[in-house]
């Protein structure tokens, strides 16, 4: 489930989970990256966040709709399948 803006606080670590391509093929998998909230401005409904330890950038309220508090079921199922195959 995505994150509501009013629940965001500085220091919170969110997850960005979306499909990525596996090299130069048409196959895809789910990737997971951390997004650390550095500061929140409730008046303008924006926050400074660092995606995957990169320099912080401005996130607007709509950007938080694709972030999660915990891993999603499809991502966990993918990880489980990977663990079984190795």
Residue 85 confidence (pLDDT): 82
DSSP assignment string, 13-76: EEEEEEEEE-SSSS-EEEEEEEEEEEEEETTTTEEEEEETTSPPEEEEGGGGGGEESS--HHHH
Q: Grade residue 2 by pLDDT with cuts at 50, 70 and 90.
A: confident
In this predicted structure, the answer to whether residue 1 has a pLDDT above a threshold of 90 is no
In this predicted structure, the answer to whether residue 5 has a pLDDT above a threshold of 80 is yes
Cβ atoms 41, 47 nearer than 8 A: yes
* CATH code, 5-85: 2.30.30
Condensed to tens digits (0 to 9), the pLDDT of residues 17-26 reads 999 999 898 9
Residue 86 confidence (pLDDT): 72
Condensed to tens digits (0 to 9), the pLDDT of residues 10-69 reads 999 999 999 999 989 899 999 999 999 999 999 999 999 999 989 999 999 999 999 999
3-state secondary structure of 73: helix
Backbone angles phi, psi at 42, to 5 degrees: -65, -25
Euclidean distance between CA atoms 24 and 31, whole angstroms: 16
């Amino acid at each position: 489930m995505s994150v509501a803006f009013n629940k965001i606080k500085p220091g919170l670590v969110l997850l960005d989970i979306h499909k990525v391509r596996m090299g130069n093929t048409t196959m895809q998998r789910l990737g997971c990256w951390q997004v650390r909230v550095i500061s929140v401005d409730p008046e303008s409904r924006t926050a400074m966040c660092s995606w995957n330890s990169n320099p912080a950038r401005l996130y607007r309220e709509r950007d938080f709709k694709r972030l999660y508090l915990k891993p999603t079921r499809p991502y966990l199922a993918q990880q489980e399948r990977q663990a079984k195959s190795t």
